[in-house]
Amino acid sequence: MTLTLYNTLTRRQEPFETVEAGKVKMYYCGVTVYDYCHLGHARACIVWDVVRRYLQFIGYEVRYIQNFTDIDDKILNRACAEHSSMEAVADRFIKAYFEDMARLGIKEADEYPRATHTINGIQRLIHELENKGFAYPADGDVYYAVRQFSEYGKLSGRRLEDMQAGKSERVNVEDPEYQKKKDPFDFALWKAAKAGEPAWESPWGAGRPGWHIECSAMVRDRLGDTIDIHAGGADLIFPHHENEIAQSEAVTGKPLARYWLHNGMVKVDGEKMSKSLGNFITIRELLDRGVDPMAVRLFVLTAQYRTPIDFTDEAIAAATNGWHTIKEGLLFGHQYGKKLGWNLGTQNILIPNPDVERFQKVVNNDFNFPGGLTVLFKLAKELSREGHILVHEGKTETLPEELHRQWQTLVTLAGVLGLEAEIEAETHTNGLTDAEIEAKIQQRQEARKAKNFAESDRIRDELQAEGITLIDSRDGTRWHRN
């Protein structure tokens, strides 16, 4: 079974072959820290978290680096508005980032370099670019000369000539930078200090780095000249990633990344969810509304990672339903394992296991996580069905060992997608486990059949006292915790 990935660079799906056998070097362009993260950032972080988990699951050793852009006009504007410093704003939102991502179950990256901690690496790279004729100073700024890099545009498929024709969208003649550039498409590697802004000494005068150069420097510092996967949102293909390639490859003469992978956008009414547009919901707002973090993961994973998804209340509600189904399956072992006489920990689910094979086969096709989820849903539904049979009939249809294998498979595969149920909270709320509640409902059914209504009322009251409400209907009795 080979993993094949759609590579934005080649516009084809290709077999995944790493530079070094068995090892993956992966870099993801993280957030600019001037506000709380929204659902769009959640999608990007969840997708790359799951990609990393999956690569580890299939046996790779993964080194995963994610940056924080902690110097930027937007951060400076916020610091100014709050009479605070750029560093204080960045620190506050980095802290918030970790809180939000922990709630979503995102595993921490191996390292989180920050632009302001990489100034030496950035300056080294600019210096080399200048020596090789790809960069020129202009009045305290330094610009990258895009026409010197013959492959400029290879990632995005944009050619300078075409952009020239429609240049109005990109070029602002009023912009003071425009006056300094040799070509309107040149971009800043270094910006001269403005009064009151943070600045670092450099051979070009005091100033600060441009945005694109920080990633080229961080990749080189932490991972080397050529990495396996460079990831980010599709909104970064142009100009950010195009410029990263131009910077890094001009210096090293080697490909910056073998595979360029891009997640699709979370949209609202067809537009990118974005801090700048103001059409966003933050992760903490969504979770504080009571949306389960695992439902957010499911919302993200039910779409192929490259396709755009619309954020709607209905989509979140559907994901919540889906999560309840998977959660019931995940809790099966905790509820019924003992009763089924499982000897926990004695099985090795990975040999030979058709469900794991099916999961891997489908996900190997360009990280098809929605396809992988169908395997999880099948297992979860089957386990829930057996759970109900067990409660009502005292035994299961399938052999306990086989159910044990199915449950372990579900837990393992759900873990690859970062889906985990909180065992204590779910099975022991109000002192009664789901199985105990189901058993009491069954006793009450039997009392009612025998027309022993005093007993059936007693059971109802007993459950009510435990905070459990029963709802009788023609199809049987449903229940919920209050």
Ligand X SMILES: Nc1ncnc2c1ncn2[C@@H]1O[C@H](COP(=O)(O)OP(=O)(O)OP(=O)(O)O)[C@@H](O)[C@H]1O
Q: CA 363 → CA 51, 58, 61, 304, distances in Å?
A: 10, 11, 18, 10
Q: Which does 274 bind (CB under 5 to 8 A by kind): ligand X, Zn ion, none?
A: ligand X
Q: Which does 266 bind (CB under 5 to 8 A by kind): ligand X, Zn ion, none?
A: ligand X
- Binding-site members for Zn(2+) are 29, 215, 240, 244
Task: Give residue number: closest CB to ligand X.
Answer: 233
N- to C-terminal Cα separation, the chain: 48
Nearer to ligand X, 75 or 432 (CB): 75
**Rounded least distance, CB 224 to ligand X, Å:** 21
Q: Which does 215 bind (CB under 5 to 8 A by kind): ligand X, Zn ion, none?
A: Zn ion
Q: What does the alpha-carbon distance between residue 461 and residue 456 come to, in Å, rounded to a whole number?
A: 9
**Rounded least distance, CB 64 to Zn ion, Å:** 14
Q: Which does 463 bind (CB under 5 to 8 A by kind): ligand X, Zn ion, none?
A: none
- Binding-site members for ATP are 275
Name the site residues for ligand X (rule: CB under 6 A): 29-32, 40-41, 43-44, 232-233, 235-236, 263, 265-266, 272-276
Q: What does the alpha-carbon distance between residue 141 and residue 324 come to, in Å, rounded to a whole number?
A: 55
Nearer to ligand X, 43 or 222 (CB): 43
Q: Site residues for Zn ion, window 333-352 (CB under 5 A)?
A: none
3, 24, 26, 29: residue in contact with Zn ion (rule CB under 5 A): 29
**Rounded least distance, CB 131 to ligand X, Å:** 30
Secondary structure E strands in 193-275? 207-209, 227-233, 257-263, 266-268, 271-272
Nearer to Zn ion, 125 or 215 (CB): 215
Nearer to ligand X, 27 or 134 (CB): 27
- If you ran DSSP here, which 8-state letter would residue 20 be given? S
Q: What does the alpha-carbon distance between residue 39 and residue 31 come to, in Å, rounded to a whole number?
A: 12
Contact at 8 Å (CB) between 319 and 302?
yes
Nearer to ligand X, 232 or 322 (CB): 232
Name which of 124, 146, 125 is nearest 134 in CA terms.
146
Contact at 8 Å (CB) between 64 and 75?
no
Nearer to ligand X, 225 or 310 (CB): 310
User: Does the footprint of Zn ion cover residue 55 (CB under 5 A)?
Assistant: no
**Rounded least distance, CB 375 to ligand X, Å:** 26
Contact at 8 Å (CB) between 226 and 182?
no
**Rounded least distance, CB 246 to ligand X, Å:** 19
b/e map 159-170, b = 16+ CB within 10 Å: eeeebeeeeeee
Q: Is the N-terminal amide bond of 239 cis, ω within 30° of 0?
A: yes
**Rounded least distance, CB 415 to ligand X, Å:** 24
55, 215, 283, 363: residue in contact with Zn ion (rule CB under 5 A): 215
- Binding-site members are 29, 215, 240, 244, 275
Q: What is the 3-state secondary structure (H, E, C) of 183-198?
A: CCCCEEEEEECCCCCC
As beta bridge partners, residue 112 has: none
Which residues contact Zn ion (rule: CB under 5 A)? 29, 215
